Amino acid sequence: MIIVVDFGSQTTHLIARRIKEYGALSELVTPQKAIRTIRLKEPDGIILSGGPASVYEQGSPQIEKEIFDLGIPILGICYGMQLMSKIHGGRVVSGKKEYGPARLSLKSAAKELTAGKALPDKFTVWMSHGDEVKKPFIGAKILGSTDDVPYAYVGDVKNKLYGVQFHPEVEHTENGEVILKNFLSICGESVTNVPLSVPTLVKNIRKKVGDHYVIGALSGGVDSTVASVLMTEAIGEKFIPVYVDTGLMRYDTDEHIEKIFSHLKAKPITVKVKTEMFKRLKGITDPEDKRKAIGKLFIDTFDSEVKKLAGQGKHIKFLMQGTIYSDVIESRGTKHSANIKSHHNVGGLPKKMNLKLIEPVRQFYKDEVRKLGVMLKLPQEFVMKQPFPGPGYGVRIRGEITRERLASEIKADQIVMEELKFANVLDKVFISFSVMTGAMSTAVKGDGRHFGEVVALRIVESRDVMTATWARLPYDVLQKISSRIVNEIPEVSRVVYDISTKPPATMEWE
């Protein structure tokens, strides 16, 4: 077993997921409970996660120094490595902040770490840190460096204490899987691959729901679709899927929803609330406030539908949502994690609700949900549907949402999707969309001055949503998208392309 001490990183759960995938048991614990749990469980290894705090920040999460005297292999990741250095004879300073890709060069001593597969001499790693180790913990030698970080990879091989400034658990770190598997081997864990289990998920749903009815929020995305199919497998007709048409969903959602309803063999329930949505969003400009307003309307709508169904003898106890783990962690899912944004189905929900939540895929990442979709034999167009936020275009329009700006966003988004499909690259990117930025810029249209809004394009490659890099599209494709948007949408003055990685940027623009 591996104990993962959670210092609040956005990717702490991802560490535990990797360990589970490689066939070892893991348990997440808070720093406050770490030593007690370690003494009780006697794990084979300990991983100290990253986190948003500085090790010298008042109130930052700490851990007892005695952890180094237990004779258990330890791997510190980012904040975890910095904390190891701070409390075990090293020194940490507020150094050069670094987010995104960096090139790691290994020293010859690093070969001692390869209890499993050997690592190449150079490879790309993913950074996200503000502090910097100037002197590593006692006994540690440099195993790898980047151009900006000398102590990017350190280790005390004799005592099996290791630290990495980068994140081996994220998709975009090359050989991250090898590093984690090698650490498991050092801990004496056998490394295998463990498959997902649909029967286990279905069994858990039946146990929780019992004989009650469940109403479900179906948005058309892969998360809510897979969650809905799992619910149908578990409780059949006692699951009632509902599509709430806010007017903010992607232009092709209605047609896609009908296909899903047909696949579920469910009687479709569609509730149109576009007029009410505009009323509630009037004058709201803050993204968090928009998310909460949209979340509140969703709950009010479902409460209304529950009352109607009760009149038909169907008494609903649960509301199903397609929440996945990236939604949870960005909405401050753990004690020490930062609140990035309130997803409408997590932090955007009102505190008092009449229904209990059931979220079948809450503990999974996007790529895992897609694997479940394949296992459930869903059509490819369901499984590979591009992610689209629950609040829809509401979070892709900066500032107040008006009918005119919504129409411009819908048209721009449609152009993006059409041109990527025409260029045969749509299925090669993870997510692609336009943003009404709220920024204004001068343009020349028809030999006259035009002062219009700037549209940003966000097109990225990712697998699990926790990290992402911008798509290197051919210039002629970008040119075609830009020309069409500026020419076909009178209110737009120019188009810009977002080349930010995650981190530091998030997927969306709020």
**Do 167 and 72 have their domain in common?**
yes
Per the residue annotation, which of 167, 256, 343, 344 is the catalytic one? Answer: 167
Kindly report the average pLDDT of the chain as a whole number. Answer: 89
Least confident span in 101-110, 143-152, 204-213, 318-327? 101-110
DSSP label at 311?
T
In sequence order, the 6+-apart residues with CB closer than 8 A to the CB of 326 are 365, 366, 464, 465, 466
Q: Would residue 268 count as lying in a domain?
A: yes
207 inside domain: no
Under 8 Å between Cβ of 7 and 49:
yes
In this structure, are 373 and 415 located in the same domain? no
Stretch 68-78: mean pLDDT, rounded? 94
Residue 338 has pLDDT above 50, yes or no: no
Whether 311 and 360 share a structural domain: yes
504 lies in some domain = no
Quick one: pLDDT at residue 504? 85
Same domain, 176 and 272: no
Q: Which of 328, 356, 383 is the last residue of a domain?
A: 383
**Cβ contact 62:33 at 8 Å:** no
Q: Are residues 401 and 379 in the same domain?
A: no
* Confidence category of residue 348, pLDDT binned at 50, 70, 90: very low
Q: What is the CATH number of the domain that holds 85?
A: 3.40.50.880
Q: What is the mean pLDDT of residues 56-80?
A: 92
Per the residue annotation, which of 13, 78, 343, 453 is the catalytic one? 78
Give catalytic status of residue 305 as yes or no.
no
Residue 400 lies inside a defined structural domain of this protein: yes
Q: Do residue 306 and residue 345 come from a single domain?
A: yes
Residue 329: what pLDDT? Answer: 65
- Higher pLDDT: 21 or 49? It is 49
Question: What integer pLDDT is reported at residue 331 of this predicted model?
Answer: 46
DSSP letter (8 states) at residue 109? G
Number of domains present in the structure of the chain: 3
Cα separations (Å) of 360 from 9, 42, 309, 447? 23, 31, 23, 57
Task: Write out pLDDT tens, residues 77-98.
Answer: 999 999 999 999 999 988 667 7
Containing 174, the helix (H) or strand (E) segment is none
- The β-bridge partners of 153 are 144, 164
Q: Are residues 60 and 174 in the same domain?
A: yes
Say if 83 falls within a structural domain. yes
Secondary structure of the chain: what % helix, strand, coil (to 5)? 35, 25, 40
Residues 224 and 343 in one domain: yes
Residue 503 forms part of a structural domain: no
pLDDT bracket for residue 24 (50, 70, 90) = confident
Does residue 132 have an active-site annotation? no
> Each residue of 420-476: pLDDT tens digit?
999 999 999 999 999 999 999 998 877 778 899 999 999 999 987 888 999 999 999
Whether residues 375 and 413 fall in one domain = no
pLDDT reported for residue 34? 93
| 21, 98, 132, 169: the active-site residue | 169
pLDDT of residue 194: 62
Instruction: CATH number of the domain at 492, please.
Output: 3.30.300.10
111 and 225 both lie in a single domain = no
| Residue 128 pLDDT level (bands cut at 50, 70, 90) | confident
Containing structural domain, residue 415: 396-497
Q: Is residue 341 over pLDDT 80?
A: no
Q: Identify whether residues 481 and 439 lie together within a single domain.
A: yes
Q: Among residues of the chain, what percentage have pLDDT more than 70?
A: 92
Q: Strand locations in 107-232, DSSP E?
A: 122-135, 141-145, 153-156, 161-164, 213-217
Does 178 reside within a domain?
Answer: yes
| 69 and 145 assigned to the same domain | yes
Q: How far apart are CA 376 and CA 226, in angstroms?
A: 8
Last residue of some domain: 383, 410, 443?
Answer: 383
10 Å Cβ neighbour count for 455?
27
Q: Which of 331, 359, 383 is the last residue of a domain?
A: 383
Question: Is 187 noted as a catalytic residue in this protein?
Answer: no
Is residue 91 within 8 Å of residue 54, measured between CB atoms? no
